[in-house]
Amino acid sequence: MELSYVPKRYLVTCLVYLGILCQYSMRRNLDVAIVAMVNTTGPEDAQTSDEQQLTPEFDWSQTMIGVLFGCYYCGYVMTKLIGGYLFDRYPSIRILEGSIFFGAVIHILQPPAARLHVSAFIISLIMQGVVESMTIPAAYAVMGAWATRTENNQRTPFVLTGQYIGMFIGTCATGVITEKLGWAASFYIFGMVGIAWGVIADVSIRDFSLERPPMEPEDNIFLHGDRYQDGDSVNERTKLPQMQTAVHRPPIPWLRMLTCPAVHVIVVCQVFLQCGTHLMTTYAPLYYVHSFHGDVKTVGTSAGVPVLIVAVCLSVASIVADSRYWRSTMSTERLRKTVNTVGFFGLAACSISLAVSTGFARSLTSFCLSAVFVATAMGGGFLVNLLDIAPIFAGEIKGISTTVSHLAGSIFLVAVGLLTKYKTRNEWSIVFTVTACALIVAAILFIIFGSGNEQSWAREEPKEKRLTCTAPAVPDITSVFTKTILPVQYPLEEDYSRNSDEEEDYFEEEDTAMAHNLVDGKYSKSY
């Protein structure tokens, strides 16, 4: 039956997609705007004589720039520690709205903070990281509440592509806006877009709770009992999520997980890939300016192209790596190691090419090829390997690797600032060479310690608790009362509240009541 309206759950999907796009556009704002904020390129270095020159407003060193880049990720990690507490106390839709809305407000306040003092700017960046770190987890929660598992497989990847599209738009648009209106205008424009999204989202989905059904008939059926292919509705899956998983999910074996070499190598790979990605995104504009004296518009566009390539190649890499052909020709472990090796060694080769590059076109080509290899390693290598070794604990492993990689990434950003103190091409060559060596080491470690088999600690099943209690036998009237107890065993659910002592007390009281109601060997009518 064709409907003349769009169901509200699809409206929710679009709003979440646009929210993620807005926020990731803001995240890439500083990477390009910093070129104009601290640009030291003189008029003699410009590519054309009629090019508009941007007067630098701040005299920040490369080390300070590295600190500014790293501050965001420090705040990003801090909220991970209290994320579970927030999700237990507040609805996920409110966390999503607050993350994007307040992140946009802080984004607008950053130009005045930077002009006030660099310490105020640092505090604003840390606060922005703290606020925005909850966006993706909240988006997952919202999408899970507004879709069955069948629909989630289709709509969640679409929503998450907003990250890369937003990064591409933010990087390219910032270059154009900065050239025409100045660096501060890009912060104001992207911040206002984020605030506008927050207002529209609040008006549109404030009554979208599962307790209050929406007005559209299709959504009404969907939320209250419509059975999909997986056999469950949204209302049933979101009512008591903790009770659904508590019985079937074993306790997390933290000690064995944290001492497993297969987990260690996944964390190492994500840390070093994060460093390589930072060079491709965060530091690419400054590299173009220092090495080739590019203008801010060209720098922004050039830095945005590799991000778009990652968005396109990531889906292709995951589909190709897990295709039936490769699955039938090699084992899972060999497949993961092969794909991961191609991705990391390819990215290392591109880093070496950047280290010896002497032309803008060659560097841009190397960055674009780097994006292809990053997508290869993520789509079919270590990033999906955690689903192979511990599918039921993949979330915990991902949380550990993400936290460690962000902490290491913030340190790496500061280290790059220290290594490029004088902004010369030779210094950048050292940075790319060291990064290439680290990527090669990570690839070799994955070959040695990586695994494609489910680990023993991830296969443990919870032990079923059993309770022995007693029940009274049928009384023998001829002998007035025969106190016979029959042992009965049955499995005990996790939330069972009585113990065996309470059961025995209960049955003893019942026996006493029955005995008092016997009159001349017969039960009285009152009983």
- Summarize pLDDT for 116-142 with one digit per residue, the tens: 999 999 999 999 999 998 888 888 777
**Quick check: 306 pLDDT over 90?**
yes
Categorize the per-residue pLDDT at 460 as very low, low, confident or very high, splitting at 50, 70 and 90.
low
- For the chain, the average pLDDT equals 78
Residue 245: the pLDDT is 37
pLDDT score at 507: 46
* pLDDT value, residue 197: 94
Say which range, 4-8, 432-436, 475-479, has the weakest mean pLDDT: 475-479
Q: Which domains does the chain have, with CATH numbers?
A: 1-42+52-246 (1.20.1250.20), 249-463 (1.20.1250.20), 466-523 (no CATH)
- This model's pTM is above 0.85: no
Q: Which amino acid is at 53?
A: Q
Query: Of the ranges 71-85, 145-159, 412-426, which is most confident?
Result: 412-426
Dist. CA 202–CA 93, nearest whole Å:
9
Nearest to 348 by CA among 268, 273, 264, 239: 273
SS3 523: strand
Work out the average pLDDT over 102-120: 96
CA-nearest of 331, 344, 324, 325 to 441 is 344
What is the structure's pLDDT at 353? 96
Alpha helices by DSSP H, 356-494:
360-380, 382-389, 394-419, 425-449
Structure tokens at 197: 């999204």
Average pLDDT over residues 483-490: 46
Which span out of 160-164, 223-227, 322-326 was modeled with the highest average pLDDT?
Answer: 160-164
pLDDT at 186: 95
Amino acid 383: pLDDT: 86
- Please check whether residue 120 is in contact with residue 38, taking contact to mean a CB–CB distance below 8 angstroms: no
For residue range 313-372, list pLDDT tens digits in order.
887 877 777 676 666 788 889 989 999 999 999 999 999 999 999 999 999 999 999 999
pLDDT at position 44 over 50: no
Euclidean distance between CA atoms 131 and 437, whole angstroms:
35
